[in-house]
Structure 1
Amino acid sequence: MTELLDHAAYRAAAPEALRPQLAVFRDRLKQALPDAEEVMQYGMPGFTSGGVMIAGYGAFSKQCGLYVSKGAINAHADDIAAAKLKASKTGVTFSPTKPIPHELITALAVASRKDAAV
């Protein structure tokens, strides 16, 4: 697979059904983390500050994932459960038919940034 160099290229290469959600991720994360740098790390788009990954996102064959700090997931576990989404230690996955709420994207990004600053 060709190395993807930026967020737009990643989105263009993703399954068509997931592209709109990836655009939402980028926009919401960029708003929540205005001074963070957009990067590609480990083949996925993300945002860093001071060289530390704050939030990343990815698309798979049928679902998307938002990846943040463990503390951010723990702090918003009730919100994730209320939205009926799946969470791992550092990520939330969902499908285009059941997207992550925009406010939750922002809250997770801000909480992850706080963790990175510690």
Structure 2
Amino acid sequence: MADATAGSPIDEYIAGFPPETQAVLQRFRAIISESAPDAVETMSYGIPTFDLRGTHLVHFGGFTRHVGFYPTPTGTEAFKEELSRFKSGKGSVQFPLGQPLPEDLIRRMVEFRVAELG
């Protein structure tokens, strides 16, 4: 495998975090890729973004104590009850580092956004 710092802008972004956070961000990226295979990786707002048919599908980003996920306001509203145990805002949710990612929930949220964009 090539040096991660020599890859895409998302590879470079992820490489800027401690190894444990890198692993979580790579898993997050994989979940999104698997859930939206037609989406294109890019960077927007300074964080990793997946676009579908020219529209932002979801964003994610690493922070000191959490991974931020940005599935738009409709994406968080549709899963409001399931997200109630996490810190969230309009269009965003924080998944704490050191706790397992709610992979099924993330997957369903991405699939919701894919369906929403038609």
Tell me the TM-score normalised to structure 2 length. Answer: 0.85
**Count of aligned pairs between the two proteins:** 112
Query: In structure 2, what residue type is equivalent to 1:102?
Result: E
* Higher RCO by CA contacts (8 Å cutoff, separation 6 or greater): 1
Structure 1 residue runs without a partner (length 5+)? none
In structure 1, the residue matched to 2:117 is 116
Q: How far did residue 30 of structure 1 move?
A: 0.1
- 2:107, 2:31 → 1: CA distance? 6
In structure 2, the residue matched to 1:63 is 66
In structure 2, the residue matched to 1:96 is 97
- 1:15, 1:59 → 2: CA distance? 10
Q: How far did residue 100 of structure 1 move?
A: 3.2
- 1:51, 1:85 → 2: CA distance? 30
Structure 2 residue runs without a partner (length 5+)? 1-6
Q: Is the 8 A contact 1:63 1:94 kept in 2?
A: yes
1:79 to 76, 79, 82: 82
Change (3 A) 1:91 1:99: farther
Q: Which runs of 4+ in 1 moved over 6 A?
A: none
- 2:100, 2:87 → 1: CA distance? 11
Query: In structure 1, what residue type is equivalent to 2:60?
Result: Y
- 1:59, 1:46 → 2: CA distance? 12
Q: How far did residue 5 of structure 1 move?
A: 5.0
- 1:73, 1:99 → 2: CA distance? 19
In structure 2, the residue matched to 1:22 is 25
- 1:36, 1:43 → 2: CA distance? 18
- 2:115, 2:88 → 1: CA distance? 19
- 1:37, 1:101 → 2: CA distance? 23
Q: Is the 8 A contact 1:37 1:48 kept in 2?
A: yes
